[in-house]
Amino acid sequence: MSFKISVTGEDISFDCEDGETVLEAAERAGYVIPYSCRKGVCGNCAGKISCGEAKVKGQGLCTGPLEDVLLCQARPISDLEIVPVRIRTADPVSRKTFEVRVRKVERPITDVAVIHLRFPIGNRAVFRAGQYLRVLMDDGDSRNYSLANPPHRNDSAELHIRHVPGGKFSQTILANLEKGATLKVELPYGEFTLSEREDQPAILIATGTGFAPIKSIVEHQIKSGGTRPMHLYWGSNIEADLYMRSLPEKWGATHPWFSFTPVISCPDKNWTGRDGLVHHAVQNDYPDMAALEVYACGAPVMINAAQKDFCEKAGLKDEAFFSDAFVPSGFSA
Ligand SMILES: Cc1cc2nc3c(=O)[nH]c(=O)nc-3n(C[C@H](O)[C@H](O)[C@H](O)COP(=O)(O)OP(=O)(O)OC[C@H]3O[C@@H](n4cnc5c(N)ncnc54)[C@H](O)[C@@H]3O)c2cc1C
Ligand code: FES
């Protein structure tokens, strides 16, 4: 049995198969609505149901009209009319699963592993800068990790993984992951990709391993010869946690369109750079954000605070804020 989903105020409708979520049905039909985790945690996919009924994991039976329904978790049980935050057309999503081999595991600091994976010979992965892959585990569980390599380096994947105490993947599995081991991955996922509004400077904000997709985005612009102005703010508690700091410093020294500002929240007495919360440093430098786009990635607490402050106090348009919050992405998420 399938249901019809239509979008209020738009000439858009598509079918949703039994068991499919609104997000999955939209993608299959060639529409993109905002999302990030796809696990009901980050809230990026929240929209309205204008009328109709859906079962929503974590929210129960939802009957329209109703706001803040997670469209990544909503499975219609009648025809539905929805209002997503944004919707645009795109090619229907085509994802592939690969068995990849670990080529190298590096540990630039104790808490972060940089994993280099190799796709099977002759296989290339198609993805856009800023997207993520899913590591598929034997028990059916999965974890999301952003691709740190740019799309032209598509015979391999580079992941930056922060150690989460007690974490099934980032602690237990990662501890035994050595050169030659295999992992099953599925890609591409994610909407944390640069818009086509080339005229608008992009403010990039990362905390911790949120640097990974930003590395992909910047390296892609370098490769493609673009000149869109980009200013990266990378925040951490202590200086040593900026595990690849020399890389954005090098980009800043060689590309006039790129600037880099490291921001340390708990600096020691030798730190002479910016301190405090990373999003406060951005707001200080850009009190008027009306003509900017912001791409924020990493700790959910930073992303929530940045979105609220930038939109409410600095005039950033809602639709100009893009984020991937690194929320838990396992079964229990
Ligand atoms: C779109 C997306 C992209 C992501 N990309 C990256 C990435 O590039 N690099 C990266 O390091 N992580 C990334 N993450 C987070 C990642 O998917 C995992 O959630 C994380 O590695 C923890 O998995 P685990 O199996 O080690 O821990 P789990 O076994 O899932 O969790 C162990 C415990 O830690 C808590 N926990 C889980 N994740 C986090 C977290 N992120 N912060 C604080 N507590 C947590 C859980 O609630 C649980 O109590 C991303 C998440 C999303 C949604
Ligand atoms: S809550 Fe739906 S995409 Fe994160």
Residue 306 has pLDDT above 80, yes or no: yes
- The atom of ligand 2 lying closest to the CA of 38 is 3
Q: Are 233 and 264 within one domain?
A: yes
For residue 220, CA distances in Å to 6, 152, 206, 256, 295 come to 36, 8, 17, 16, 15
Convert the pLDDT of each residue in 272-294 to its tens digit. Answer: 999 999 999 999 999 999 999 99
Q: How confident is the model at residue 330 (pLDDT cuts 50, 70, 90)?
A: confident
Q: Are 64 and 141 within one domain?
A: no
The CA 45 to ligand 1 mean position distance, Å, reads 19
**Residue 23 Cβ < 6 Å to ligand 2:** no
Range of the domain at 210: 202-325
Q: Are strands 88-89 and 31-32 parallel, antiparallel or unpaired?
A: antiparallel
Q: Are 177 and 213 within one domain?
A: no
Q: Which of 87-91, 197-201, 203-207 has the highest mean pLDDT?
A: 203-207
| Residue 16 belongs to some domain of the structure | yes
Q: Are 206 and 316 within one domain?
A: yes
Q: Are 60 and 102 within one domain?
A: no
| Residue 196 belongs to some domain of the structure | no
Which amino acid type is present at position 275? D
**What is d(CA 158, CA 132) in angstroms, rounded to the nearest whole number?**
10
**What is d(CA 297, CA 75) in angstroms, rounded to the nearest whole number?**
28
**What is d(CA 103, CA 205) in angstroms, rounded to the nearest whole number?**
29
Quick one: CA dihedral 124, 129, 131, 136, positive or negative?
positive
Over pLDDT 90: what percentage of the chain?
A: 93
Average pLDDT of the segment spanning 205-210: 98
Nearest alpha carbon, ligand 1 atom 19: 328
**What is d(CA 268, CA 275) in angstroms, rounded to the nearest whole number?**
10
Give the per-residue pLDDT at 91. Answer: 84
Look up residue 180 and give its two tokens.
């030659």
Contacts of 202 (CB under 8 A, 6+ apart): 194, 228, 229, 230, 231, 292, 293, 294, 295
| Residue 330 belongs to some domain of the structure | no
| Residue 219 belongs to some domain of the structure | yes
Q: Are 32 and 130 within one domain?
A: no
Q: Are 110 and 180 within one domain?
A: yes
Q: CATH number, domain at 266?
A: 3.40.50.80
Q: Are 85 and 149 within one domain?
A: no
Residue 175 half-sphere exposure toward CB, CA atoms < 13 A:
8
Average pLDDT of the segment spanning 8-13: 95
| 24 three-state secondary structure | helix
Ligand approaching nearest to the C-alpha of 112: 1
| Residue 265 belongs to some domain of the structure | yes
| Residue 162 belongs to some domain of the structure | yes
Q: Are 85 and 100 within one domain?
A: no
Give the per-residue pLDDT at 1. Answer: 84
Look up residue 18 and give its two tokens.
């039994």
Q: How confident is the model at residue 326 (pLDDT cuts 50, 70, 90)?
A: very high
Convert the pLDDT of each residue in 209-230 to its tens digit. Answer: 999 999 999 999 999 999 999 9
Over pLDDT 70: what percentage of the chain?
A: 99
Q: For residue 91, how many other CB atoms are within 10 A of its CB?
A: 7
DSSP string for 111-147 = TEEEEEEEPPTT------TT-EEEEEPTTS-EEEEE-
The CA 298 to ligand 1 mean position distance, Å, reads 10
Backbone angles phi, psi at 318, to 5 degrees: -50, -45
Domain boundary among 159, 189, 219: 189
Q: CATH number, domain at 139?
A: 2.40.30.10
- The structural domain count of the chain equals 3
Ligand approaching nearest to the C-alpha of 190: 1
Convert the pLDDT of each residue in 77-123 to its tens digit. Answer: 999 999 999 999 988 888 999 999 999 999 999 999 999 999 999 99
Residue 312: exposed, middle, or buried by beta-carbon count in 10 A (0-12, 13-18, 19+)?
A: exposed
**What is d(CA 33, CA 221) in angstroms, rounded to the nearest whole number?**
24
Contacts of 36 (CB under 8 A, 6+ apart): 42, 44, 45, 190, 191, 192, 323, 324, 325
Average confidence score pLDDT of the chain: 96
| Residue 282 belongs to some domain of the structure | yes
| Residue 235 belongs to some domain of the structure | yes
Estimate to the nearest angstrom the gap between the alpha carbon of 286 and the chain centroid: 23
Convert the pLDDT of each residue in 63-89 to its tens digit. Answer: 999 999 999 999 999 999 999 999 999
Look up residue 47 and give its two tokens.
């929209």
The CA 327 to ligand 1 mean position distance, Å, reads 6
Ligand 1: residue of 170, 174, 241 to mutate (most ligand atoms within 8 A of CB) is: 170
Q: Are 139 and 216 within one domain?
A: no
Give the per-residue pLDDT at 331. Answer: 67
- CB-based contact 80:54 (threshold 8 Å): yes
Domain boundary among 58, 89, 120: 89
Ligand approaching nearest to the C-alpha of 24: 2
Place of tokens 């939109």: 311
Domain boundary among 89, 118, 146: 89
Q: Are 293 and 209 within one domain?
A: yes
Q: Are 246 and 159 within one domain?
A: no
Give the per-residue pLDDT at 332. Answer: 54
**Residue 7 Cβ < 6 Å to ligand 2:** no
